[in-house]
Amino acid sequence: MKTVLNPSVNKFAEVSERLNGINEYYFSQKLRQIDEMNKNGKNVLSFGIGSPDQPPHSDVTSTLIMESAQIGKHGYQSYKGSPLFREAISEWYMKWYNVSLNAESEILPLIGSKEGIMHICMTYINKGDEVLIPNPGYPTYKSAALLAGAEVREYILKEENNWLPDFEALEKTDLSKVKLMFVNYPHMPTGTFGTDEMFKKLITFAKKHQILICHDNPYSFIMPGFMNKNKPMSLLSYEGAKDVVIELNSLSKSHNMAGWRVGFLSGSAERVGEILRFKSNMDSGMFLPLQLAAVRALRLGEDWYTELNEMYDSRREKAFELLDTLGCEYDKNQVGLFVWASVPEEYGDGFSLSDEVLEHSNVFITPGGVFGSAGDHYIRVSLCAKIEVYEEAIMRISELLE
């Protein structure tokens, strides 16, 4: 006899409740649209994702090739990562941030720092715990916290406060259920550099309210005036930070290795050990030749970062020119891999400007509202395109506005 399923009670392959409110990542959707436009001959110029378009240092790729050819380098690796890699991270933190990290116990390599966001949330969050998320901010903070069962509380960052946390406003709220707070300076998407005063206040705030801080720090080597006007900063360099801070870092932006998926987190031995308990049940260790190539990357000299920043400085000027063409306003002191700008009033919001430019000029610029409601009236331009691409985009947009 044929069995007929009642659609009203069919539970087969029903998605879990944890996916409620979690949508596909914006850029995943947008890249599909752009790909379809390109298939139709549109030749879209994209200033969306911050994926470096230049290769890593030649010594880094050579190391990967050489090590990959060796027998015995292709097996499973330690969940804690190679001791050589952890030691190189420790040296790098001391050289550039003046932070002392125990290579054995205070560093955990990651398959890209994005996975670290999820690992941290799953390690510490219980259902109903509250997590403070910056608005505007990286969307993954919110989605990872929700997937872990948290109640998300956004803290609003405002241009008039230079996109820094308003601790006075936070102190006026009930913080008793807040377990975790995400922070990201240099800030994405606004390009704001962290300050000594803010970092010190953050540590005091975290200790007072027993809140664990997750500081996401992948942009600290991309800045105008590298090692002159601006120097790389780590929240862990401040007194007492290890008591309340876990810091994420990555080679994606600083070493042109986004697709390599090489990142790491650092903090107290206790915290690193706790996160390892979760991570070791989720994945295996990173491919050893990748780790050895990363060691070479971390030991590059100041010339590498200087040349990298000279390239981004010239692109940043072209991004300013593009924004001038659109009539946008922006701060020239921004750091990081993007330029953040407010849109002219006639567009209403960043989505309107982005849609118009994409439709009529085949140029994609990220609407700021992707990063939260506080970014609705802004757009973000990536610096990951060659100079001639900016020039072509400026020409197309100028023709649109004539």
Give the C-alpha separation, 89 to 294, whole Å: 9
Are residue 40 and residue 70 in the same domain, yes or no? no
Q: What is the CATH number of the domain that holds 333?
A: 3.90.1150.10
**364 shares its domain with 377:** yes
Quote the domain boundaries for residue 96.
Answer: 58-299
Clarify whether residues 336 and 260 are in a common domain: no
Query: Is residue 142 located within the same domain as residue 267?
Result: yes
**For 11, which DSSP code?**
-
| Lowest-confidence segment of 18-22, 28-32, 82-86 by average pLDDT | 18-22
- Total number of domains constituting the chain: 2
Kindly state whether residues 124 and 238 are assigned to the same domain.
yes
Are the C-beta atoms of residues 290 and 259 closer than 8 Å to each other?
Answer: no
pLDDT score at 12: 62
- Sorting pLDDT into bands at 50, 70 and 90, what band is 77? confident
Please tell me whether residues 133 and 33 are part of one structural domain. Answer: no
Same structural domain for residues 109 and 28?
no
Least confident of 84-88, 223-227, 269-273: 223-227
Q: What is the pLDDT of residue 76?
A: 83
The pLDDT value given to residue 28: 72
Tell me what the mean pLDDT of segment 277-297 comes to: 93
| Residue 2 pLDDT > 70 | no
Domain assignment present for 10: no
| Residue at 3 is within a domain | no
Which pLDDT score is estimated for 10?
59
No. of helices (H) and no. of strands (E), the chain? 12, 12
Statement: residue 34 has pLDDT above 90: no
Contact 271, 72 (CB under 8 A): no
DSSP structure class, residue 235: G
**Quick check: 6 pLDDT over 70?**
no
Residue 120: band (very low, low, confident or very high) from pLDDT cuts 50, 70, 90: very high
CB-based contacts of 309, cutoff 8 Å, min separation 6: 221, 222, 223, 224, 226
Q: Are β-strands 151-156 and 130-135 bridged in parallel, bridged antiparallel, or unpaired?
A: parallel
Give domain status of residue 133, yes or no.
yes
325 and 201 in one domain?
no
| Vertex 41 angle, CA 35 and 43, to 5° | 65
Residues 165 and 284 occupy one common structural domain: yes
Among 258, 283, 299, the domain boundary falls at 299
In a domain, 6, yes or no: no
Q: Is the domain of 132 the same as that of 280?
A: yes
In a domain, 168, yes or no: yes
Distance CA 35, CA 43 (A): 9
One domain for residues 284 and 149: yes
List, for residues 374-390, the tens digit of each pLDDT value. 999 999 999 999 999 99
CATH number at residue 278: 3.40.640.10
Asked which of 299, 332, 349 is the last residue of a domain, the reply is: 299
Side chain identity, residue 129: D
The type of residue at 343 is: V
**Given strand 107-110, what is the order of strands in its sheet?**
107-110, 263-266, 245-250, 212-216, 178-183, 130-135, 151-156
Tell whether the model's pLDDT for residue 223 goes beyond 60.
yes
Whether 173 is in a domain gets the answer yes
Beta strands at 338-342 and 329-330: parallel, antiparallel or unpaired: antiparallel
Q: How confident is the model at residue 31 (pLDDT cuts 50, 70, 90)?
A: confident
Q: Mean pLDDT over residues 326-350, rounded?
A: 94
Res 35: pLDDT: 84
Does pTM top 0.85 for this prediction? yes
Among residues 252, 279, 299, which one ends one of the domains? 299
What mean pLDDT comes out for the span 86-92? Answer: 98
% of the chain residues with pLDDT over 70: 95
Residue 146 lies in a domain: yes
* Same domain membership, residue 175 and residue 188: yes
Quick check: is 333 in a domain? yes
Which pLDDT score is estimated for 79? 84
- Given a cut of 60, is residue 255 above it in pLDDT? yes
